[in-house]
Amino acid sequence: MVQRQIYNRGIRSKSVLTAMQRVPRHLFMLPEYRSEAYNDQAYPIGFEQTISQPYIVALMTELLDLQPESRVLEIGTGCGYQTAVLAEIVEQVYTVEIIDNLAQQAWKRLTDLNYQNIERKVGNGYSGWEHQAPFDRIIVTAAPPTLPDRLIDQLEIGGKIVLPIGKTKQDLLQITKLERKLVKKSYGGVRFVPMTQYQQ
């Protein structure tokens, strides 16, 4: 999977490739899909949510430009797969999930795999995690229709946020927060579950 679907499509970060090799994707999937776990596609995980295709997980992780000391906020724990990839690279991950049952299932998986550098809570992703802010990296794994201001407020100057934005048409964006402006780069069209249902 890592060689054919990720490296061959241009992902070059050694830390990302190593993390993708180390995290057993099948353990984050429903039993009926586990035989297909290393295909490059998204699959249902219940509660009308999905596990993203491996290439997209790798791309978004690479776009974060992570350092070992990065403080990362993840919006949308989901099944915990992206969370685990982040936890392989950085010292501390903070993750927020709106669906309580999904959050509990993810936390059990992550605990069983002995990840000890993840703080988690059930909450509204639009609110971020103000108590733990600021963060120097934020990743959003559901698509808000517009850029959430609260998440930008919780991002350090010089920090990066990677997220899909849009309703029917979504773009994957990397946004760097500078002192007086946001620098946005688009990395093409994507398809994520909408984040509109989480809005307050």
State the catalytic residues.
52
Three-state DSSP state, 4: helix
Three-state DSSP state, 132: helix
Residue type, 58: A
Please say whether the dihedral angle defined by the alpha carbons of residues 32, 35, 38 and 39, taken in this order, is positive or negative.
negative
- The Cα 168–Cα 117 span in angstroms is 35
- The Cα 179–Cα 189 span in angstroms is 28
Which of 169, 168, 130, 163 has the alpha carbon at shortest distance from 148? 163
- The Cα 122–Cα 145 span in angstroms is 21
Judge contact between 172 and 184, C-beta under 8 A: no
